Structure 1
């Protein structure tokens, strides 16, 4: 059997279902363990997520201000910790979940398809973490600084208006931005896979660039809070990643063209050898 062939040994449906159950048990088990770990340290994790708020307060020139977050329902902070555990558990368990999905699908792929798929399996979480880091270290402080600038002091007979975020809403803001940026940073991976499958071309992506720019701003308006800072902050990286996706698609097409030329040359050589009369 060639290395490029699928392992097409017939297997009963029951064996596939048993393997699927085993993969699901490993994935669910990894998530459950990670969930318990994150729930045990939920308050510490939440304190880490509050650090960008402290940076925003510093940027706003309010260094002496004490950071306060509130919850208005007895169960609110408990369910916030549940969300933290689920969010953190999913991130921690993702390598195990992705590996189990790959192990279940891999036997049905050609060897060259498996070798081509693995780099994307590694690149996907790395790009997601880059997007999450960009949110944590830059965009969350910038967004909160924008909201803090709307506060009103009680000087001159004015009513004092101070930002006191609820724990659930603060976590929702961070999770929304992290997921939005994490998904946007998957654009080169998705586009490259589609280019390898022949679903898109670099020329087609380049022609649709103006629509992609408009779509980036529309997606940013939907996925981010209603402030220009976060919307522009998501739209610009999206446009840059679209350009990277076009470049990646061009590389895929060049690689495919070189491989086709090599195969044609080998085929011509084989035909010439077959036509040469034996002495």
Structure 2
């Protein structure tokens, strides 16, 4: 029986049984969890759960009276809330390692020209996620709580519960971290021929409307946080269009480059 595999295909003959894929997936998940665990241990040593709580509470504490503090309504909140923050901080700290494990799992199914730029794309995605979270911590929260405290009646003492505060902060971290992945999504859509750059340019007006709708849904009901999410999404959309041109050229297969060169020579 003749072998129908294309000898020019570098992935020919690299197929693995389904069980081997499951074992590889299990190992990658365990490696990722181990990385998160190590980061949690390091963060538990320094700055510790209390230090992490103090850090994320700085934006609201800056707009509260000096003697005011966040309160813990639940019986177990003083224990579970710092633990939740520690787990989230450990995941964020280990994010590049976790994404690398995902890349290592899918890398055997990629061609060499795709592998060269998969890792830079992971680095870009991680950097954008960190940038989104930093944008929330150092800009959005300060402006948002300044607005909230400014409209709070003088007869009301705004001292939120630590559990609800942490839940709201983490949801903002997640929303902005995902929203800042717009350039990566745009580049991948163009790379896999799901949409053209010209179509993306013509979709600008619709994307502005969509970004403000998304911001209104995932952020608290204040104008500051909604604008702070929608405007960067629009700017990152433009950045994704610019980056898509480079990404398509950089990840072009050798056969496509040769065909394009031959077509140019034949003119």
Give the TM-score taking structure 2 as reference length: 0.86
Structure 1 range deviating more: 6-15 or 201-210: 6-15
Report how far residue 190 of structure 1 moved.
Answer: 1.2
Change (3 A) 1:223 1:87: same
Q: Deviations over 1:175-208 (max 9, x none)?
A: 1221111111100011101211111211111111
Residue in structure 2 matched with residue 108 of structure 1 by the alignment = 109
Q: 2:188 aligns with which of 186, 190, 193?
A: 193
Residue 12 (1) aligns with residue 13 (2): no
Residue 49 (1) aligns with residue 29 (2): no
Residue in structure 2 matched with residue 143 of structure 1 by the alignment = 144
Greater Rg over alpha carbons, structure = 1
How many pairs does the alignment contain? 258
Looking at structure 2, the residues matched to 4 and 47 of structure 1 have their Cα atoms a distance apart, in angstroms, of 55
Residue 233 (1) aligns with residue 215 (2): no
Change (3 A) 1:36 1:204: same
Residue in structure 2 matched with residue 118 of structure 1 by the alignment = 119
Residue 24 (1) aligns with residue 29 (2): yes
Q: 2:169 aligns with which of 171, 174, 178?
A: 174
Residue in structure 1 matched with residue 78 of structure 2 by the alignment = 77
Report how far residue 6 of structure 1 moved.
Answer: 1.9
Q: Deviations over 1:122-157 (max 9, x none)?
A: 11110111111111111101001011112333xxxx
The answer to whether the 8 A contact 1:225-1:231 is kept is: yes
Residue 34 (1) aligns with residue 39 (2): yes
Structure 1 unmatched runs, 5+: 154-159, 272-279
Residue in structure 2 matched with residue 244 of structure 1 by the alignment = 239
Change (3 A) 1:13 1:229: closer
Looking at structure 1, the residues matched to 8 and 182 of structure 2 have their Cα atoms a distance apart, in angstroms, of 31
Looking at structure 1, the residues matched to 250 and 161 of structure 2 have their Cα atoms a distance apart, in angstroms, of 52
Alignment of 1:247-258 (within 5 A): 247-252=242-247
Looking at structure 2, the residues matched to 267 and 249 of structure 1 have their Cα atoms a distance apart, in angstroms, of 23
Looking at structure 2, the residues matched to 47 and 104 of structure 1 have their Cα atoms a distance apart, in angstroms, of 37
Change (3 A) 1:264 1:152: closer
Change (3 A) 1:149 1:117: same
Alignment of 1:262-277 (within 5 A): 263-266=259-262
